[in-house]
Amino acid sequence: MEGSVIQRIASIKPFSTKTERIVIDKLEKIDFNEIIYMSITELAMKLDVAEATILRFCKKIGYKGFQDFKLALSKDLASETTISDKEENFLLNKILAGLDFTSKNLNKKMYEEAAKKILAAKRLCVFGVGNSEVAVHFFELVLLKLGISAFTSSDSHLQNIFASSLNENDLVVLVSVSGGTLDVIDLAEVCKQKNVPIVVVTNYEKSPLAKYANYLFVSSKKEAAYEGGSSASIISQIYIFDMLYQAMLNYLGEDVTNKFISSETVSNKAI
């Protein structure tokens, strides 16, 4: 089957089953710009149908599954979008909106509890894939300022080996924009079986990965499939890690802060 998502839906409408007609009628009442930010669970709730019904519908119109359907829909919508002169600062506005969203969803108690858990952990792992690795390495560097070594790796095989050696006295931080990356979810499952506390940073509060979180931080806002790993999400992830770092500093007290100031002064003089 060829054509845009809308064309494919229109082509099966005259021959649709009763259940498919219900899905089509309800889809026609929803802004497609909203759908590209939804998980299959959220869309099922919105349409008041089963997730399996949506999955079958996506396959009926020629897509491999819901993610494939969303990707095609995202491309259709993106091809219709043009940037006007008034939108030349759209990237900056998007970043600011992402930071504003992240800040408004800030849970001070959650940051404080996670910070204490990180400081108490015997071993710490911080894992992310794709563009999320940028924020992972930022956190790795600020942790070193506190004398904390975190194991990081982009190799899924090494991630699983190390995760398998952890226990309840350790901690793992998992970063995924979508919260649906299979490699990261597999890591979460391994850690859950080992009773390892998990910190999750994701854009999707109701994602599969979020269900594993002992400490959940929602970064930026939802992205369309073609926007995955945008600068707005990366910067929001870094903001969350910086807030965790500040929470750790506050927990450790002024003596640690003064220690950093003194060491930086010595380094500057040496330079």
Ranges of residues in the chain with a pLDDT under 50 are 83-86, 225-229, 257, 259-271
Q: Token pair for residue 149? A: 């070594």
Phi, psi of 98 (to 5 degrees): -65, -45
Q: What is the pLDDT of residue 178?
A: 84
What is the structure's pLDDT at 266? Answer: 38
Contacts of 125 (CB under 8 A, 6+ apart): 150, 151, 152, 159, 162, 163, 166, 170, 171, 172, 173
Nearest to 133 by CA among 150, 146, 120: 150
pLDDT at 138: 94
What kind of fold does domain 5-79 have according to CATH? Arc Repressor Mutant, subunit A (1.10.10)
For domain 90-270, give the fold.
Rossmann fold (3.40.50)
Residues of the chain with CATH 3.40.50.10490: 90-270
Q: What is the pTM of this model?
A: 0.63
pLDDT at residue 256 in the model: 53
For the chain, give every residue range classified as CATH 1.10.10.10.
5-79
Residue 89: what pLDDT? 65
pLDDT at position 80 is: 62
User: pLDDT averaged over the chain?
Assistant: 84
**3-state secondary structure (DSSP) of residue 90:** helix
Looking at residue 206, what is its pLDDT? Answer: 85
* Cα–Cα separations (whole angstroms), residue 240 to 24, 97, 103, 114, 115: 39, 15, 9, 11, 11
Q: Give the pLDDT of residue 222.
A: 59
pLDDT of residue 77: 81
Please name the residue ranges forming H helices in 176-226.
Answer: 182-193
